[in-house]
Structures are given as structure tokens and as C-alpha cells.
Amino acid sequence: MLRMPYQLLFPSILCLVASSGIAAREPYAPTRYWSTATGTWLSVGRVAEAVAGADYLLLGEIHDNPAHHLGQADLLRRFPGEEVAVGFEQLDSAQAAGLEAALASDDPLAALPASVAWADAGWPPWALYAPVFAAALDSGYALVPLSFPRREAFAVADSGFSAVLPPDALTTLAPESLLDAQAQETLEQELADAHCGKLPAEMLPAMATVQVARDAHMAWRQVSAGERGVLVLGAGHARRDRAVPRFLARLVPDARIAVVVFIEERPDATFPADYPEAQPGFADFVAVTDAAERPDPCAGIGEH
């Protein structure tokens, strides 16, 4: 089996391929959202009302954009209910003990980053995510790690979905049937583009398997945590046509699922025609923000 570099086993597609533009203003929570069903802009209040009845609300982000996390926090605070589990792609099962220790402390929000070793986990700075965790904690919601540890991606690449999913989950989720030939080709091309075309083609099928495994595992963990939940995850994992929502529907066929994604304005692109995320089938609502300031996402890829 082809061995993949460690850093390539944790793809974050929309984060890597996002525009490298610089935000012109201080970040703020979006105040309007595009409805893919009606083709109109709605206020945040209208969107909050529209998703209030969802069993599972997915909030898809570009990981390093602070405005996206402010928007997630805003919608999370508006989401009604008492027994709600907030699942985080950014936490994995190896961090569960640290999460529990933080939640048992006098100040869970302050304790969280050290307890789960956030600085060593490879995500953007804790300060970007703090508003989302604060919103969940202030609402009294449970916090759930959705991911499997990065090191287990090697096992998925070598052995398939059974490396991270138990037999009962495999039977219901059937992750091997998620992608048809066209969807498989599209995902592999997105992975290649996300790594700036510098990946050997023979790596792509295994990386696609890891991506699907992440989607299946996150859905399974979320449903295991309760009948209602909010998922905080990358926009690529939130898409309706080929990601976590598909697996949620397999686990809970009658679940009401709502998808909100946060994306960035792209130079020389016309909204909504040039934005795949704004088309029906990807998400229900889309917020467009300034691009975050970031270095060239292709610098250094493939140089090791």
C-alpha cells in the first residue's frame, strides 16, 4: 500500500483552496444569508427561524476565517432546545478525556484549550473557535468530539472504513456505496486541486476513502450523542450531496436536516452563478464573507 505523508491524511478541502485575499474589515457575524431554495437573501433572524425545527443543523466553515466562527456562534445561540449536542469536527476521540476534564472545571471555556491540547492539534488558533465553544457552553449544550484521531487515517487508507467504524455502523452507513463513479472522480479532483496539483495520482483514491470515512464517522458520532444536534465542521463535510448529511439520513431516515455554509467572496466571481455552494443541493443557506488573510495555500505543499 502506498504510504502517504502525514499531513496529507487530514484534508481540509475548502480551507486549502480558499481565496488568498485579505480581509478588508474587522470580522463580524454575517447579517444575511442566501436561500438556495428561493434564490433570495434572508436576514439572520429569518434563517434562524427556518432552521429552528431541524433535528440536525450543520454549520459549515472555512476553518481559518474568524467571521465564519462568529456566524456559527450567532446561529448556535439562536438555535432552540435543551437536549442539544454540539458536535465538533475539531475534536477527536483521543481528546474526549481532556474535554470531560475541562467541562468539570470551574471555568470550562478557559480550561478547554489546554485540556484538549488545542495548540498541538493542527487547527487554527483557539481564539477563532472560542466564540463557538462559548455559545455552546452558555446554552448548556453537550459538547461532542466527532472525529477520529489523525493517526487513524493511516489505518483507513490501508484497511478501509472498518478501521474507524464498528460493524453495526458499517452496516447502516454503507460508506462504500456513497460515491458513484462520477462523484468519486469529482472528489479525487477536488483533493488534487486542494493540494495544488502536487499529489501523485495514485494517492487520490486512498485520500478519498479517508474523506468519506470522516463524513461517516462524524455522522455516526453525532447521532450516537442524541436526537438533536448542531455540527461544527468544514463546509466540504457539510454539503448535502456528498457528505455528512447523506450519512445522517441513512442513520435517521426521517431526520430533519438543515445545512448552512459560510464561504468567502472570490475575486472575479459572480454570485450566485460562479459559486457551487449557492446552488440547490449543496446547502440550504449560504453566507458570503470577506476572505481571511492567509499565506499562499500552495506554498510548501509537495516539497517534503
Reported CATH class of domain 6-289? alpha beta
Q: What is the pLDDT of residue 301?
A: 63
Q: How confident is the model at residue 303 (pLDDT cuts 50, 70, 90)?
A: low
CB 76 within 8 A of CB 59: yes
CB 209 within 8 A of CB 156: yes
Measured in Å, how far apart are the chain's first and last C-alpha atoms? 19
Task: State pLDDT tens for residues 161-198.
Answer: 999 999 999 999 999 999 999 999 999 999 999 889 88
Distances (CA, A) of 186 to 33, 183, 263: 27, 5, 20
Nearest to 69 by CA among 89, 53, 50, 52: 89
Q: In the block, which residue shows the cell 480558499?
A: 18
CA distance 31 to 60: 16
Task: State pLDDT tens for residues 273-285.
Answer: 999 999 989 999 9
Mean pLDDT value of segment 22-51:
91
Q: What is the pLDDT of residue 13?
A: 46
Alpha helices in the chain (DSSP H): 13-16, 44-51, 66-78, 96-103, 108-115, 126-138, 152-159, 167-173, 181-194, 204-225, 235-238, 244-251
From the CA atom positions of the chain, what is the Rg in Å?
Answer: 18
Lowest mean pLDDT: which of 3-7, 136-140, 190-194, 252-256?
3-7
Quick check: 25 pLDDT over 90? no
Mean pLDDT value of segment 92-112:
98
Q: How confident is the model at residue 292 (pLDDT cuts 50, 70, 90)?
A: very high
Q: How confident is the model at residue 219 (pLDDT cuts 50, 70, 90)?
A: very high
Query: In a 3-state reduction of DSSP, which class is residue 262?
Result: strand
Question: What is the amino acid identity at position 58?
Answer: L
Q: What is the pLDDT of residue 276?
A: 96
Q: What is the DSSP string of 128-158?
A: HHHHHHHHHHHTT-EEEEEEPPTTHHHHHHH
Mean pLDDT value of segment 129-158:
97
Beta carbons within 8 Å of 73's beta carbon, 6+ residues apart:
29, 131, 132, 134, 135
Q: What is the pLDDT of residue 258?
A: 98
Q: How confident is the model at residue 18 (pLDDT cuts 50, 70, 90)?
A: very low
Task: State pLDDT tens for residues 68-77.
Answer: 999 999 999 9
Per-domain residue ranges of the chain: 6-289
CA distance 134 to 129: 9
